[in-house]
Structures are given as C-alpha cells and as structure tokens.
C-alpha cells in the first residue's frame, strides 16, 4: 500500500469502526472526540499497562510495554500494551539478548470479554504488524480483561487474518473518501462518548422529555 506514515490509520480505531462506523469517522476523519466514564476507565487500564519502565526480564521471557508497531502493507500503526518475547527455538533474535524469541502480544481491556469480535480483531491487527516488523509468524496472542482479571488466549487463524485485512481496507476507503456515514439512533448510542455531537437533536429531545417528566412529578399531590 502506497501510503505515507502520516496517513497510517490507528489500530485502536478498529474498536470504534466495529462499534459504529459513524463514530469512527467522527473521530478519525473529522477529528472529533469526547470522553465519558467508559473511555476514561479504558485509558486508566492502558496507563497501568504502559508503565514508564518499559522493559522487564523474567527468566526466559522479555516483557516490553507500549511497543510501537506498524504495517506498511495495511497502512496502520499503533501501540501494543504489552509484548512478551518468549525464548523459543525458531523465533527471532533480539539485539542484546541471547537466544531466539517468539513475540506474544497482550492487549488490556476494561470490563469482561465481549460477544462481538472487535477486541479480537484489534489484537489480530497488532499481530499482523509484529509479523511484518520482525519477519516471523505469530500463532497466538491474548486479551486481558480488567473485570475478570483473566487472560483469554486468541488463536490467530487464517480466517481472522482475512477479516482483519478486510476491516483495514474498508477503513481506508472511508478515510480516503472523507466519508462519514449516517446512522439511526439505537441502544448503543447511550454509551457513546460522541452522542451529543453525533445526534444533537436526539439529546435535545431527551432533555425536553426529562424536564417535562420531572415537572409532572413535582406537581403530583
């Protein structure tokens, strides 16, 4: 893909894109953003993973935090919360370390495992970047959820790789067209940090309805 690094799309945007394509476009095409309690909680989780002491050695494993990754082929970039390099024959060589190592990315998430696959696809995109950067094949990664305090192992299958590449291609088409799709309001809009920007008419209607309901309650004998 002939794309300059300044136009690489953010891997973290996969979450937004799969949650709502309009939300993704408002953030990544129109450069609008707003925080709510969900985004703040997610940021705190990532800050804990992104400790300034970025490297740690444990026996046959090297832990690297906040590792920048990118893929020229897919035109994406981002940062892995944690990449564990497990010492293993047939892996890659790391400068300043003896032996061969296999990268194993771990993505930190708040809450519990989701029924949808946005977390899995984000992790898969990180794997594709790491594979391109280190010229190796990575069969697995993991998702760590703050609420359950458990890791979920993810197999990076051929089908998952293909779905990840398809999502990246669709994001690229939206971005190059400067396209922000329209959307109908739904249940998931309530937890969206951009609801007041995206659907101001809906928020105004809710405010009026709340005011009327409160007035009616106050006037009851």
The residue with tokens 């105004």 is: 204
**Containing structural domain, residue 96:** 5-182
Domains identified in the chain, total number: 2
210 and 108 co-located in one domain: no
The tens digit of pLDDT for each residue in 181-221 reads 887 778 888 878 787 778 764 444 444 344 334 444 555 54
133 and 173 co-located in one domain: yes
160 and 194 co-located in one domain: no
The tokens for 182 are 């329209």
Rounded distance, CA 181 to CA 183, Å? Answer: 7
Centroid of chain to Cα 63: 20
112 and 86 co-located in one domain: yes
Rounded distance, CA 166 to CA 163, Å? Answer: 5
178 and 190 co-located in one domain: no
pLDDT at 69 over 70: yes
Q: What is the pLDDT of residue 184?
A: 78
Task: List the CATH number of the domain containing 20.
Answer: 3.90.320.10
pLDDT at 19 over 50: yes
Q: Which of 32, 28, 7 is nearest to 17 (CA)?
A: 28
Q: What is the pLDDT of residue 214?
A: 47
43 and 57 co-located in one domain: yes
Rounded distance, CA 136 to CA 172, Å? Answer: 25
103 pLDDT band, cuts 50/70/90, is very high
More confident site: 125 or 33: 125
- 3-class secondary structure, 62: strand
């Amino acid at each position: 893909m002939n794309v300059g690094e300044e136009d690489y799309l953010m891997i973290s945007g996969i979450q937004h894109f799969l949650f709502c394509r309009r939300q993704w476009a408002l953030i990544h095409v129109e450069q609008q953003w707003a925080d709510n309690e969900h985004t703040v909680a997610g940021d705190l989780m990532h800050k804990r993973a992104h400790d300034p002491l970025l490297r740690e050695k444990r026996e046959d494993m090297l832990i690297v935090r906040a590792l920048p990754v990118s893929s020229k082929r897919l035109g994406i970039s981002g940062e892995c919360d944690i990449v564990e390099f497990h010492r293993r024959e047939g892996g890659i060589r790391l400068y300043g370390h003896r032996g061969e190592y296999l990268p194993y990315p771990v993505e930190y998430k708040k809450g519990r495992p989701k029924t949808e696959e946005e977390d899995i696809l984000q992790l898969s995109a990180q794997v594709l970047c790491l594979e391109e950067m280190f010229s190796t094949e990575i069969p697995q990664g993991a998702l760590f959820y703050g609420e359950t305090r458990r890791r979920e192992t993810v197999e990076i299958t051929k089908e998952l790789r293909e779905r990840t590449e398809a999502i990246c291609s669709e994001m690229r088409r939206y971005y190059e067209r400067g396209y922000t799709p329209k959307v109908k309001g739904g249940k998931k809009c309530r937890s969206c940090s951009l609801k007041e920007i995206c659907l101001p008419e809906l928020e105004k209607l809710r405010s009026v309805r709340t005011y009327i309901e409160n007035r009616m309650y106050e006037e009851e004998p």
